[in-house]
């Protein structure tokens, strides 16, 4: 078990003195020496996992390189120690565009030092960082009012800032605030008190507070739980399940239950490193050997039988959006929830949070660094715990499926109750049998391209030919669908995403019915077409890029849409003021500017055959 170790972070606005403060701590304590650090890195009592030891050793090497080369490298984490405690500090950027860095650090620390420039007082970034810290489960905060020397150590100025912050902190649920007046540059109240400079302050120094603040568990869950990181089977006689214990304590002989399968067994062995253990606790990395041969996969959670882990596929969650491209409801993202990876969609943005007032504001999207509460739907049932009960089982990240960038970080509040009332109904007649009755192989033929490229023309000609051959078909055309099913949607990016999501669901049902469904939609975004493809089995989705230069498309503009867009009367029109992302690897690429419709149909039929 990790003992005598405190993880903390520094946060606040730009130029409030975070890096200066860390430099002062490192300089004054005079504990950052390679031999001591390396001893700490190998001390199993201080660091409970091999991963932490490795990270520590690498950072030791990084610090050594800095000193030898006389350069400063932007390393987020620093390690040092006092006679009372080992400390890990995360130095987070103050710029608004790096709020995601602060959120990442807040998810791993026990307490936060929030710096405020005594001259400037409480700023927007002060409030933003405080709200994120609160969301991430941090309850203890030091309000370090820095640069007090520049306001002549004014007691009145200090008390005004502290009073304002306490009101704000109480409103967001931070109930443990310690205010300390400091000068990071001069070293006042950092390591030692400064009674001559600040005779009116009788509280702790910053390091004194760090040395004595108790480390409280981040979650409230008491029962044992461990997400499985990997299945270890070095030989035929050993099959173990490795991971880091997220909460509670486990002993050999304990009865456990696996989520989501519900299977039960007994702990036969506990292995930590190269030795057997009789007991292991929160934070330790161990391998569990069960008495029974049961099916367990990466991302499943092993928990105490009397306190089993919940599982669901729909959640109410807090979300911090971290990407410059705004969040779009209905667009699929990859989700990583503890060790489980799946596909998720934001089905509803309930509200976004005003950073200054805390008000809940209506929103259809979230911009970078905005915080909101959303409904989240995952494509499979996953084990979880609410974040406030167990951060290890309730925190998740969202990843863009095309770029692999992390775009959001979230915390599960609770499962949506409606998920408990929705079950899959087994049907007797299957897609295979419906297809056999129609004597055809069902397909989704997805026509994409600019307005005027010839999508509807080619889809209509193809359906006529297939119908003449006795095939069972249906054509879903973008304009026609907007008269009915999607009549409530406009042409914003968010509405376009929802437009494609609904049509993909309908097309999936039609393929399940055994039909050949032709879909003719501009569908300008690759991610949304990838989402549509994911609804179908391998080989069922056929993407057809109907391609023609923009000038040709405008010349064919019988509806006058391009002319309206050029005049500014039609906003968000694809090709004019909204982008079209051409397919990179479509099943078929048709150049309708080079061939007649009949010639194009011949090429299309030849490819489909």
Distance of CA 376 to the CA centre of its chain: 11
Which residues contact residue 145 at a Cβ distance below 8 angstroms, ignoring those fewer than 6 apart? 116, 118, 158, 161, 162, 179, 180, 181, 182
| HSE of 465, CA atoms in CB hemisphere, 13 A | 17
Are 275 and 244 a contacting pair, CB within 8 Å?
A: no
Which residues contact residue 326 at a Cβ distance below 8 angstroms, ignoring those fewer than 6 apart? 365, 366, 367, 368, 493
| HSE of 343, CA atoms in CB hemisphere, 13 A | 12
112, β-bridge pairs? 9, 141
Structure tokens at 210: 């760090």
Which DSSP letter does residue 224 get?
-
3-state secondary structure 80-97: EECCCCEEEEEECCCCHH
Helix 493-512 vs helix 526-533: angle between axes, to the nearest 10 degrees?
A: 20
Which residues contact residue 468 at a Cβ distance below 8 angstroms, ignoring those fewer than 6 apart? none
β-bridge pairing 332-337 and 395-399? antiparallel
* Catalytic positions, written as ranges: 523
β-bridge pairing 176-181 and 140-146? parallel
The helix (run of H) or strand (run of E) holding residue 225 is strand 225-227
Return the number of other C-beta atoms located less than 10 Å from residue 380's C-beta. 12
Rounded distance, CA 194 to CA 202, Å? Answer: 9
Are 161 and 145 a contacting pair, CB within 8 Å?
A: yes
Listing DSSP states for 365-430 in one string gives ---TT-EEEEEEEEEEEEEE--TTT-HHHHEEEEE-TTT--EEEEEEEEEE-GGGGG--PPP-SS-
Nearest alpha carbon to residue 511 among 581, 579, 456, 441: 441
Tokens 């981040």 locate to 218
Residue 271 burial (10 A CB sphere; 0-12, 13-18, 19+)? middle
3-state secondary structure 4-43: CEEEEEEEECCCCCHHHHHHHHHHHHCCCCHHHHHHHHCC
Which sign, positive or negative, has the C-alpha torsion 576, 557, 448, 517? positive
Buried b (16+ CB within 10 A) or exposed e, 534-556: ebbeeebbbbbbbbbeeeebbeb
Rounded distance, CA 61 to CA 51, Å? Answer: 16
List, edge to edge, every strand of the sheet that includes 176-181.
Answer: 77-81, 86-91, 5-12, 111-117, 140-146, 176-181
Structure tokens at 77: 């984490």
Listing DSSP states for 250-300 in one string gives EETT-EEEEETT--EEEEEEEEETTEEESEEETT-EEEEEESS-----TT-
Rounded distance, CA 316 to CA 374, Å? Answer: 6
């Amino acid at each position: 078990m990790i003992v005598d170790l405190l993880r903390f972070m520094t946060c606040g606005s730009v130029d409030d003195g975070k890096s200066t403060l860390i430099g002062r701590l490192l300089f004054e304590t005079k504990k950052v020496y390679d031999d001591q650090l390396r001893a700490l890195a190998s001390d199993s009592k201080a660091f409970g996992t091999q991963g932490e030891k490795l990270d520590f050793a690498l950072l030791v090497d990084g610090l050594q390189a800095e000193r030898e080369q006389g350069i400063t490298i932007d390393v987020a984490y620093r390690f040092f120690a006092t006679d009372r405690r080992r400390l890990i500090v995360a130095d987070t950027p103050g710029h608004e565009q790096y709020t995601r860095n602060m959120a990442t650090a807040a998810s791993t620390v026990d307490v936060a030092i929030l710096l405020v420039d005594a001259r400037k007082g409480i700023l927007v970034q002060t409030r933003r960082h405080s709200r994120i810290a609160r969301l991430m489960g941090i309850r203890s905060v030091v309000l370090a009012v820095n640069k007090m020397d520049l306001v002549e150590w004014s007691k009145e100025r200090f008390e005004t800032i502290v009073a304002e912050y306490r009101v704000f902190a109480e409103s967001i649920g931070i109930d443990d605030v310690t205010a300390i007046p400091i000068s990071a540059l001069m070293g006042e109240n950092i390591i030692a008190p400064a009674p001559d400079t600040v005779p009116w302050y009788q509280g702790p120094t910053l390091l004194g507070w760090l040395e004595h603040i108790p480390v409280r568990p981040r979650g409230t869950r008491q029962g044992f739980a461990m997400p499985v990181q990997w299945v270890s089977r070095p030989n035929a006689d050993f099959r173990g399940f490795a991971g880091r214990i997220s909460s509670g304590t486990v002993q050999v002989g304990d009865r456990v239950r696996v989520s989501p399968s519900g299977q039960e067994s007994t702990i036969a062995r506990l292995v930590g490193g190269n030795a057997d253990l009789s007991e292991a606790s929160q934070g330790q990395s161990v391998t569990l050997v069960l008495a029974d041969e049961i099916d367990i996969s990466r991302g499943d959670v092993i928990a105490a039988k009397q306190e089993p882990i919940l599982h669901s596929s729909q959640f109410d969650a807090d979300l911090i959006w971290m990407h410059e491209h705004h969040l779009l409801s209905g667009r699929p993202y990859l989700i990583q929830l503890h060790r489980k990876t799946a596909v998720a969609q934001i089905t509803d943005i309930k509200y976004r949070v005003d950073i200054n007032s805390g008000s809940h504001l209506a929103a259809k999207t979230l911009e970078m660094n905005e915080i909101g509460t959303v409904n989240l739907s995952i494509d499979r049932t996953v084990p979880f715990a609410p974040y406030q009960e167990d951060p290890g089982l309730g925190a998740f990240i969202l990843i863009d499926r095309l770029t692999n960038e992390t775009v959001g970080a979230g915390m599960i509040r609770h499962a949506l109750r409606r998920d408990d009332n929705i079950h899959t109904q087994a049907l007797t007649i299957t897609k295979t049998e419906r297809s056999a009755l129609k004597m055809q192989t069902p397909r989704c033929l997805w026509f994409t391209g600019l307005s005027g490229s010839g999508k509807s023309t080619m889809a209509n000609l193809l359906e006529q030919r297939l119908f003449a051959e006795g095939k069972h078909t249906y054509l879903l055309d973008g304009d026609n669908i907007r008269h009915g099913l999607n009549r409530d949607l406009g042409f914003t990016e968010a509405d376009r995403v929802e437009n494609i999501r609904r049509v993909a669901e309908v097309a999936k049902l039609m393929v399940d019915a055994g039909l050949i469904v032709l879909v003719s939609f501009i569908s300008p975004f690759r991610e949304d077409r990838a989402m549509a493809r994911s609804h179908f089995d391998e080989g069922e989705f056929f993407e057809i890029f109907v391609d023609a230069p923009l000038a040709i498309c405008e010349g064919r503009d019988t509806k006058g849409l391009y002319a309206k867009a050029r005049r500014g009367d039609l906003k968000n029109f694809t090709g004019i003021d909204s982008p079209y992302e051409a397919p990179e690897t479509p099943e078929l690429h048709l150049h309708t500017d080079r061939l007649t419709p009949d010639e194009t149909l011949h090429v299309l039929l030849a490819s489909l055959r």
